[in-house]
Structure 1
């Protein structure tokens, strides 16, 4: 049994991170002393600098302008300018768990995480500012609720009212920007945010999905001209108009989806207990690729034309899929801890992040 949370990247963090977060412990720079800080809100606590940060849970990793940026538990953001050989910690304004990071260009990027937090950098990850969080989204939720009431959308009204009643606790699980102004953030219970001004203002955009949608959205991707959402219990949506509208797709399985990777010509859908499907028509039809594993695929990386894909699972497995309808092959470069993300370093090396930090791997294809 994987030690990753059974609801997947939802809260896609290890179970021990959930426990540590609920206890609200602050760790000093030696990593040896723990001091209770139960009355402090992690949204208001800067992430502590720690020599152990590079060995903690890192849930997503991106590469921009030759630099790797990894985000994870306790608000940790790690930077590497040498392809993942060495890491330095960035000072962060929050200490909530960060779940995803995305860059729109070489310098401008966003990170999202628990309690609805959205952070922005304009210098390639060296410095970050908070754009919004669950508390600041209260007004946006109220606006969305009034619009849904005026439109007579009772199911959407009930959903938005639950968000308001339950307070600012919903985690954001992925973020995507189409350019430096237009972007989306998605998360638990069908929460979806959108911005048209680089995140200066965020609106609740749940009306883009079915009114009753309340499943977790784990991933949003742009593949070619298509935007895709995937998530809990077969959640699958597609937009062919740049995110102005989304239509539900028929899911090839009822299990949860944790990853999407591909090109404009080919899509791979990654999911629970080795579920792996391929589509060549933008998600209209799917073909299952057989995999002998009990672990869940959580991340994928396209290696380039004719080179196929690398896939990572939550048991530490690294797999190579050559393309077409062949089954993937588990590689000897697999690691001994659960993985969450894959990225390509500027020198061509593959870097994986997960439960115990980030490391360079030799695919051995």
Structure 2
């Protein structure tokens, strides 16, 4: 086995490693395992721990540590290399084929591993909080993402993929499915294709291409820089594959996707290709817009036009051998299926329209279709397309893809995470997975670790938990109210505010028994309510109100100048000092920040026409505060102040709309928003780092309890995330102080839409980080302040200081201190 280092090179005590990925972080382990796999590429060190439990299955745990390898270790070979080390000699469960070519860029492996151990011990603090937010999935529902593609290699092993980077895997024929993490949350996976049990690819809507060589336990992103949008791919073995897309895109790889070359077609870029299939290394077909069909008999060196006789948009193609093939698409009428029995020399209309097709033989084929208002459509022909039978799918959700491994065993996938299975050719379909019920819970809170509530906007149900969110009970079944926010000050006193019900406006509900009973209080519609204690509270809607009797009666309070739109959030740091924020979609530039210094009796405008609709506000003390929301053209907006709101600094983190914010102290805070977005600051909001939440649901509210040790995030579609700061095994190490100034190359590069710039300071110093275009004009001012010694990173979103997006091109990032100046080149590709 080339490159294998013998057991004598491994210290008997093993190595400290950081468990991350498929498993919840629990502790730092020191133990011996079967294999270590190290992958170094350019500026990042990936340390994989692969545990082979038996001959059929392996468990992979991944940790990532970012290192400026060029600066600190110039002797590293920048080419890819893998190092595999067996902890047991002659392990029968491990085969060399599991690994790529094995090389070492240095001589002494014994000296290398103490370095690896040191790096893991030293850099653990750079591995963020992503694995510490756990989705409790309180209603025990599978992921509800729409599934767009499915592939099986045998009756047991299969993959399904879809929206927001979701990839599912089964090794028991679909009885159970597990999520495979791939760190691709901003792309929909439109095609998943496996050449064997280990080697597979996943293609995303934004050109994302993922590859795995271990069955999907680790997915690595491959780089393909194309202007067109890829739509489909196919691999006939682990090395040879093709990819097609818009503007006539056809790419081919013969080395497993490490390199791609364009293949020309007689149509140039005049058509959009939607699907591709190959039956062997030579014979393949591509289909696309305007009824286009191309065929190759030499692996794509030459593509020849075949006559379809139609001008449909062709969506999918499948061949069972060199002669018999099927195509499905959409047409102006109800037809949409084509069939050939002579390799495509002639094509005949052979059935209804659809979105996906799979053929088991020259006679048997299945299509899935999406007809308006009719879901769950799957149709079968057993006579070469002369007749089609609609099969009972047992689901009303739209189906998007179908696959069969023979004439009887197959699967189809669709909306709401639906997976159906048949073992008799579709005579009966069984639902293996689907999201049966969805509770939107974006507005919720906990008063301690055990007791929490959330309110559904409609149909206005209130839910309570007494076991830290693991289970929930309804407290008011089917009220018909529309709820906006819920508030509790302890385990018994609570309030819910909203808009209207079937009987008209209601404004507010209150409880004094923990939600067992609720009293309706008539008041104009409200969006937010907060209480300082069980008696004194403030609520906001089109104006502000105050109560001193627990919410039985409310008095309107004026705002100077007059408030022109609604209040979305209110926060008090004590019983006198509070802030309120708001805005309206009817006045996109008219967001407002209000302040009171007398418990809500009077309010003054601190900031108006802020250019954003503000959804959340939080102050950690009388000086340090943060407001979040969204702008009409710039997505998420963050505003911070360190003088009590007299002045505000704007931040545009290139993220979705932000809905809520919570600070643990003056420095550390969290913001959450749409599409599962969460970000963390540890410098009072000057810089923000995105944190992976493992969900793509809109997140509406965040709260910390138990002395801010336990955190909860509420979101739509059954989403409840929990974070325990106290039991986390990973405690941040003291900051690492570099011995010299460092400016690393940005990553990724090229980038779109954001890139991370990392730099190191040996001493506390005034620091500026600027971005220039090629003409020397300043584009962005990322940092300009006194900074502490240590490593720092800043995210640039490709925008100017005013929030304007910059065009594609080459940009210069320059780090400037009184003693050091260095520049790097960055490429923005859109």
2:303 maps to what in 1?
128
Q: State the secondary structure of the residue aligned to 1:115.
A: helix
In structure 2, the CA distance between the partners of 1:280 and 1:271, relative to structure 1 (3 Å rule), is same
8 Å contact kept, 2:328–2:354? yes
Q: Match for 1:74 among 247, 261, 275?
A: 247
Q: Does 1:178 align with 2:315?
A: no
1:119 maps to what in 2?
294
User: How far apart are the structure 2 equivalents of 1:263 and 1:205?
Assistant: 23
User: How far apart are the structure 2 equivalents of 1:287 and 1:88?
Assistant: 42
Q: Does 1:204 align with 2:376?
A: no
Q: State the secondary structure of the residue aligned to 1:235.
A: strand
* Deviations 1:18-62, CA, capped at 9 Å, x for gaps: xxxxxxxxxxxxxxxxxxxxxxxxxxxxxxxxx976464221111
How far off its partner does 1:127 sit?
Answer: 1.9
How far off its partner does 1:2 sit?
Answer: 9.4
How far off its partner does 1:244 sit?
Answer: 5.0
In structure 2, the CA distance between the partners of 1:226 and 1:192, relative to structure 1 (3 Å rule), is closer
1:85 maps to what in 2?
258
TM-score normalised according to structure 2 size = 0.24
Q: Match for 1:255 among 384, 392, 397?
A: 397
In structure 2, the CA distance between the partners of 1:55 and 1:85, relative to structure 1 (3 Å rule), is farther
In structure 2, the CA distance between the partners of 1:178 and 1:261, relative to structure 1 (3 Å rule), is closer
8 Å contact kept, 1:64–1:107? no
How far off its partner does 1:243 sit?
Answer: 4.6
Q: State the secondary structure of the residue aligned to 2:396.
A: coil
1:221 maps to what in 2?
358
Q: State the secondary structure of the residue aligned to 2:247.
A: helix
TM-score normalised according to structure 1 size = 0.51
Which residues of 2 match residues 188-337 of structure 1 at below 5 A? 188-189=330-331, 190-206=335-351, 213=352, 216-223=353-360, 226-232=364-370, 233-243=375-385, 245-264=387-406, 266-291=409-434
How far off its partner does 1:131 sit?
Answer: 0.9
In structure 2, the CA distance between the partners of 1:196 and 1:290, relative to structure 1 (3 Å rule), is closer
In structure 2, the CA distance between the partners of 1:125 and 1:2, relative to structure 1 (3 Å rule), is farther
In structure 2, the CA distance between the partners of 1:271 and 1:247, relative to structure 1 (3 Å rule), is same
Q: State the secondary structure of the residue aligned to 2:416.
A: helix
In structure 2, the CA distance between the partners of 1:246 and 1:4, relative to structure 1 (3 Å rule), is closer
Q: State the secondary structure of the residue aligned to 1:194.
A: strand
How far off its partner does 1:251 sit?
Answer: 2.9
8 Å contact kept, 1:58–1:73? yes
8 Å contact kept, 2:147–2:414? no
8 Å contact kept, 1:110–1:119? yes
1:45 maps to what in 2?
none
* Relative contact order, higher structure (CA 8 A, sep 6+): 1
How far off its partner does 1:3 sit?
Answer: 12
In structure 2, the CA distance between the partners of 1:255 and 1:291, relative to structure 1 (3 Å rule), is closer
Q: Which has the higher helix share?
A: 1
Which residues of 2 match residues 21-32 of structure 1 at below 5 A? none
Out of 114-123 and 266-275, give the one that drifted further.
266-275
Residue segments in structure 2 that go unaligned for 5+ positions in a row: 1-143, 149-161, 163-186, 189-222, 438-674, 676-691, 697-751, 753-830
* Deviations 1:102-136, CA, capped at 9 Å, x for gaps: 12333111110011100001111222111125xxx
How far off its partner does 1:179 sit?
Answer: 2.1
In structure 2, the CA distance between the partners of 1:252 and 1:292, relative to structure 1 (3 Å rule), is closer
User: How far apart are the structure 1 equivalents of 2:328 and 2:433?
Assistant: 30
How far off its partner does 1:292 sit?
Answer: 5.5
8 Å contact kept, 1:53–1:89? no
Q: Match for 1:187 among 283, 304, 329?
A: 329
In structure 2, the CA distance between the partners of 1:205 and 1:288, relative to structure 1 (3 Å rule), is closer
How far off its partner does 1:202 sit?
Answer: 1.8
8 Å contact kept, 1:186–1:220? yes
Q: Does 1:58 align with 2:230?
A: yes
Q: State the secondary structure of the residue aligned to 1:289.
A: strand
Tell me which structure has the larger Cα radius of gyration. 2
User: How far apart are the structure 2 equivalents of 1:112 and 1:335?
Assistant: 34
Number of residue pairs aligned between Structure 1 and Structure 2: 217
1:308 maps to what in 2?
none
User: How far apart are the structure 2 equivalents of 1:263 and 1:83?
Assistant: 24
8 Å contact kept, 1:101–1:175? yes
8 Å contact kept, 2:421–2:432? yes
In structure 2, the CA distance between the partners of 1:272 and 1:181, relative to structure 1 (3 Å rule), is same
8 Å contact kept, 1:98–1:113? yes
Out of 239-248 and 67-76, give the one that drifted further.
239-248
8 Å contact kept, 1:54–1:87? no
Q: Which has the higher strand share?
A: 2
Which residues of 2 match residues 336-351 of structure 1 at below 5 A? none
How far off its partner does 1:184 sit?
Answer: 1.8
Q: State the secondary structure of the residue aligned to 1:71.
A: strand
In structure 2, the CA distance between the partners of 1:116 and 1:53, relative to structure 1 (3 Å rule), is farther
How far off its partner does 1:278 sit?
Answer: 1.6
User: How far apart are the structure 2 equivalents of 1:250 and 1:61?
Assistant: 30
Residue segments in structure 1 that go unaligned for 5+ positions in a row: 16-50, 139-167, 207-212, 295-314, 316-331, 337-355, 357-365
1:99 maps to what in 2?
274
8 Å contact kept, 1:274–1:293? no
User: How far apart are the structure 1 equivalents of 2:251 and 2:226?
Assistant: 7
